[in-house]
Each structure stands twice: as C-alpha cells, then as structure tokens.
Amino acid sequence: PVTFGHLDVFARAASLFDEVVILVAHNSSKNPLFSPRQRVEFIREEVRHMANVRVEDFGGLLVDFCRDIRADAIVKGLRSAVDLDAEYP
C-alpha cells in the first residue's frame, strides 16, 4: 500500500517538475496483495489533488518506460543506506 513516505516523495517531486509520472512496476519475485491495476487506482485516489501527477503501470524495464515517455529524471525514495547501496553497486 501507499505510505506517507511515498506521498512525501510524490509531493516533493510534484513541486520540482512540471510533470510527474508515478510508475507502479510489476515484480515477478513478489506476490502483492493487490493487482497492479488496483495499486494504480489506490495511488490515483491519493494524488488526485496534484494536477501535474499521473499514475501508470508497466510490466517491463524501467529504462524502457522512461525512454517511451521521454523522461528527464527518475526520482526514487530511499528507506535506508541499504537501498542506496543497492542503487550504486
């Protein structure tokens, strides 16, 4: 489920960029309680007041999605130093 931490990242990104696309990714190694479509709808409800934010789901690679939408940046929340280490091997 979307957390206050997620919402904080979404709001910060929305204040920095003209357009923000929140991507709900499919991870075959996880067994989530809700489908990607349900998760998209949950997040859309939470960000409906952010006019420059939209929510999409995608089953492929992040780089392909970013290329398709011509993204200029990727914003990711980091929970701990472990997350940072995973991003920068």
Q: What is the pLDDT of residues 13-28, one digit of tens each?
A: 999 999 999 999 887 7
**Residue that is written with structure tokens 């979404």 in the block:** 10
> How far apart are alpha carbons 41 and 19 in whole angstroms?
19
Report the alpha-carbon distance of residue 14 to residue 44 in Å, rounded.
Answer: 14
The amino acid at residue 4 is: F
| Mean pLDDT (the chain, rounded) | 90
Taken in order of first residue, the domains within the chain and their CATH numbers are 4-87 (3.40.50.620)
Question: Does residue 89 surpass a pLDDT of 70?
Answer: no
What is the percentage of the chain residues whose pLDDT exceeds 90?
63
